[in-house]
Amino acid sequence: MDPVDQDSTLPDAAPVSLECPGAEDDSLSGSNDVAQGPSNANVKLEDLFDEDDDEEFPSSGASEEGAPSSSPPPSPPMIAPSANYSDPGVMKTFYRRLFPFRYLFQWLNHSMKPSNDFSHREFALTLQNDAYLRYQSFPTSDLLRKDIIDRNPSRFEIGPVYTTNPRDRKSLRKSSAFRPLAKELVFDIDLTDYDEIRTCCDKANICHKCWSFITMAIKVVDVALRDDFGFQHIMWVYSGRRGAHAWISDKRARNMDDQRRRSIAGYLEVIKGGAQSGKKVNVKRPLHPHLARSLDILKEHFQNDVLVQQNPWAKPEKAERLLQLLPDKTLNDALRKKWEAAPGRSSASKWADIDALAKAGASKNLDGKALLEAKQDIVLEYTYPRLDVEVSKKQIHLLKSPFVVHPGTGRVCVPIDTRRVEDFDPLGVPTVTELIHEIDAWGSHHQDADSEGGSKRLQDYEKTRLRPYVDLFRTLVGVLLRAEQGVKRERDDDDPMEF
């Protein structure tokens, strides 16, 4: 993903005017004086997720029998069977009925009460005509939801929290006063960076075989972030096509400056050099504990997912690449001769041949330690995560929001459950049109379900395959908010008010 840093290439958005009951018309025009209603500072965390009065996800069913209603229930979505996910009507229905704005707000705001963590946050919208609007900001989740539904973008991205409302940046006397304060630490993994080693697909195409590279990457990076850096609030999100993004929401991670972000990115970066470069793994011995742990995680994947599924050295030119990574010329000549005599030899067999010929004395001057280290480096080169580290190095970098729809595939960018990461199927993630048709299908089979007395009316996302992903997101947000409340209590205890 290309970083988006320069104002010169990204036009500013036109001023927005949203009507909101009880608020002035300039509530989103950039003023910092946002009217807020009374709040209850003692509200309990479990109240965050009381959905009985949550109208963010409208139900297409009728209201409870006998219950008073000031307005008729929303009509079920009417989408033609042949509708494409790029149709504006499809996207508008998705935002109105399925997008979890409430949980997105809580995740980015780190609190129930609206704060600068949200109101000073930049959002960037890509409209249906490909216009790109930067420096959008919203005081509340309701206003974000209203603007997204009104503008109906094909996608939107999340940026940092700034020193002031991004809409007010041009009114500052000094441009240097407008700067980023905080942003989740993020990582981006894209399968196009594996094109030189995956044999099943290339470019934007993926399959279950090459998705295993993303599974390996998530395992290695996630355990490093947790065990080596102590981060706890990590969410992995499917990019919608061929990759995954990691969002680290710990307060310590959000507040890191660019230098610390570069340091962590450098710590995790092992594969260096482009497709035409030579040896891509050059690590010191003895191996750092992180690399030793990574090898333990990756060795099984190497045997099955790489040697068997990818068969990376089946072609002679690819096998020559393997020989270039081995340290002994005499051994290499013996291996080359053996493989030329058996042109259909599999990669798994060729890998086994290395040890077999070495033990048979193919090279009298073979350095066993050097061979072992070379084989470790080869395992790392063909399995270790290939990170787009530029995404991680700067607070100002924008990244696609969770739960947006990928414009190229129609698939929703859903969170990945790391407890069952190997079960995640990117090709099974629902598309936006499938989800909307699932709402219709549910309604046709449960016409009386929402009107039965005493039964709780289901929200539309609960009627679709999006439900487990929204539930996972909700759980992760709840854990984060509990931790943030604990941080606030500790800060209050350590800094008592003095009279």
Active site (annotated) includes residue 190: yes
Which amino acid, one-letter code, is at 480?
L
Query: What are the angstrom distances between the C-alpha of 490 and each of 98, 254, 464, 476, 483?
Result: 37, 18, 41, 21, 11
Note if 188 is an active site residue.
Answer: yes
For 29-66, the DSSP string reads TT-S--------TT--GGGGG-GGG--SS--SSPPPTT
Angle at 485 between CA 481 and CA 491, to 5 degrees: 145
Whether residue 430 is preceded by a cis peptide bond, meaning omega within 30 degrees of 0, is: no
- In the 8-state DSSP scheme, what is residue 163? S
Cα of first residue to Cα of last residue in the chain, in angstroms, is: 53
Displacement of CA 262 from its chain's centroid (Å): 19
- Residue carrying the six token digits 């710590």: 267
Separation between Cα atoms, residue 452 and residue 456, nearest integer Å: 9
Instruction: Give Cβ neighbours of residue 378 (< 8 Å, ≥ 6 apart).
Output: 281, 322, 325
Contact 184, 249 (CB under 8 A): yes
**What does the block give as tokens for 114?**
């609206």
How far is it, in rounded angstroms, from Cα 189 to Cα 375?
24
Annotated catalytic residue within 56, 157, 190, 450? 190
Determine which one of 56, 147, 184, 188 is catalytic. 188
| Catalytic residue positions, numbered | 122, 188, 190
